[in-house]
């Protein structure tokens, strides 16, 4: 039997949410700066765009290697170690002498910036079954604000101080968080006592025995692929519009997206009280409508802003509901269920970024919108596939 978890105070929950936002932002600072990278190292936009792809790929690998350890190791210490590693990777990016070095550093940034996915099941565990959805929604609100505001901050810093300053500041923030979390997070020892090999092997057991997890992972991957397709190419689209808007304008769309991110706590409460599966389906429809807006009115700033609000609203509602479904499957394997889901989801994000970069090079903005809409339609189709009998995993 495991001990009763400590009570999760409101202050601690919001510190966890803020930490999730600050850490996940590391993966997205590069997106409004891609044109700046291209100019600094005298390379094409397509070459600079690979940085966004490799960062997402690194994050997916980090989820696979490190997040399962949340079921095995003391969580607070594990989170602190990942923050120190993130700080080192960010410092390497700031000092990058070439695009190849920056690309490698960006991969390492993604690989080590996995603390949000350790914090989410941690918060759900501390909150208990009755407050699980609300806790997940709150941490996810912080996370999505980090994703969106990272673009605003990076765009501003890049335009006024240079992109290297952004990575230096981020590295300092990671080290500061180590000390903050040491004083605020409780110690918590998970119940899994097997080897790392058996821990990793149990991931496949979860995939085989949990059809709900397979469904949420597939839908999450397709939705995030569409989300990443838009944000990866937005900077290029704005730069090619008549106003030739720069990284600062691209970053401002992150502020617009916060309106959509504010749905997270409410989506979490709905998941505690109602049907998270229905919320996910509605969110997929919202994705399709958002890309229709981008296709029809994406040549104007107001059209892009309207689409961004709906895109981020759909994104956050679907993501929180998917995670709530996953975490409810088995309290002893929260981190591993989150690993499977997030790893597949961010692999989808990397593929979405790659598909968007290719579509942009060949068909421009119309190609990007077509890719995004197609991915969202596939997400709807996945939710209507038969899932089979739901069984509890033997982990």
Percentage above 70 pLDDT, the chain: 91
Question: Which structure tokens are listed for 78?
Answer: 């594990």
pLDDT at residue number 90: 97
pLDDT at residue number 316: 83
Percentage above 90 pLDDT, the chain: 45
pLDDT at residue 50 is higher than 90: no
Tell me if 222 sits within 8 A of 376, measured CB to CB.
yes
C-alpha closest to that of 376 among 325, 310, 326:
310
pLDDT at residue number 295: 94
Which tens digits make up the pLDDT trace of 162-202?
999 999 999 999 999 999 999 888 887 777 888 999 999 99
Q: Which residue would you say has higher pLDDT here, 378 or 138?
A: 378
Q: Which residue would you say has higher pLDDT here, 286 or 259?
A: 286
Confidence of residue 388 (pLDDT cuts 50, 70, 90): low
The whole-angstrom distance between residue 251's C-alpha and the CA centroid of its chain comes to 17
Which tens digits make up the pLDDT trace of 117-163?
899 888 888 887 777 777 888 898 888 788 878 878 898 898 889 99
Q: Among 103-107, 254-258, 319-323, 356-360, which stretch is predicted with the lowest mean pLDDT?
A: 254-258
Helix-strand-coil split of the chain, %, nearest 5:
85, 0, 15
User: How far apart are alpha carbons 96 and 92 in whole angstroms?
Assistant: 6
Q: Among 13-27, 85-99, 335-349, which stretch is predicted with the lowest mean pLDDT?
A: 335-349
Which tens digits make up the pLDDT trace of 197-250?
999 999 999 999 899 999 999 999 999 999 999 988 888 888 888 777 776 677
Average pLDDT, the chain: 86
Question: Which structure tokens are listed for 241?
Answer: 């519009």
C-alpha closest to that of 347 among 218, 230, 221:
221
Which domains are delineated in the chain? 10-185+194-382 (1.20.1250.20)
pLDDT at residue number 270: 63
DSSP string, 290-308: HHHHHHHHTTSHHHHHHHH
pLDDT at residue 6 is higher than 90: no
């Amino acid at each position: 039997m495991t001990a009763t978890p400590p009570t999760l105070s409101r202050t601690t929950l919001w510190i966890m949410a803020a930490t999730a936002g600050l850490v996940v932002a590391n993966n997205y600072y590069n997106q409004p700066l891609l044109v700046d990278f291209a100019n600094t190292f005298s390379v094409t936009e397509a070459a600079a765009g690979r940085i966004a792809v490799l960062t997402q790929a690194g994050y997916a690998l980090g989820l696979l290697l490190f997040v399962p350890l949340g079921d095995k190791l003391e969580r607070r210490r594990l989170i602190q170690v990942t923050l120190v590693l993130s700080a080192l990777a960010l410092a390497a990016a700031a000092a990058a002498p070439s695009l190849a070095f920056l690309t490698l550093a960006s991969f390492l940034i993604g690989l080590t910036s996995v603390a949000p996915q350790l914090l989410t099941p941690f918060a759900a565990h501390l909150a208990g079954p009755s407050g699980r959805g609300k806790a997940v929604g709150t941490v996810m609100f912080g996370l999505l604000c980090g994703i969106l505001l990272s673009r605003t901050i990076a765009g501003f810093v890049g335009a006024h101080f240079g992109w290297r300053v952004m990575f230096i500041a981020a590295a300092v923030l990671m080290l500061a968080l180590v000390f903050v979390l040491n004083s605020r997070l409780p110690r918590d020892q998970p119940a899994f006592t097997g080897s790392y090999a058996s821990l990793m092997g149990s991931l496949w057991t979860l995939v085989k025995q949990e059809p709900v997890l397979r469904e949420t992972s597939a839908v999450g991957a397709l939705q995030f692929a569409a989300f990443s397709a838009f944000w990866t190419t937005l900077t290029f689209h704005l730069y090619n519009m008549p106003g030739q808007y720069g990284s600062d304008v691209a970053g401002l769309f992150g502020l617009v997206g916060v309106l959509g991110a504010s749905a997270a706590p409410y989506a979490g409460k709905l998941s505690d009280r109602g049907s998270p599966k229905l919320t996910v389906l509605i969110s997929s429809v919202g994705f399709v409508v958002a890309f229709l807006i981008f296709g029809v009115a994406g040549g104007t700033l107001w059209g892009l802003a309207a689409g961004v609000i709906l895109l981020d609203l759909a994104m956050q509602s679907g993501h929180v509901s998917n995670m709530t479904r996953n975490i409810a499957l088995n309290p002893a394997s929260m981190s591993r269920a989150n690993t499977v889901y997030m790893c597949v989801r961010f692999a989808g994000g990397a593929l979405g970024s790659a598909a968007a970069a290719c579509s942009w090079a060949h068909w421009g903005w119309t190609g990007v919108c077509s890719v995004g809409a197609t991915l969202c339609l596939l997400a709807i189709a996945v939710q209507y596939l038969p899932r089979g009998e739901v069984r509890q995993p033997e982990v």
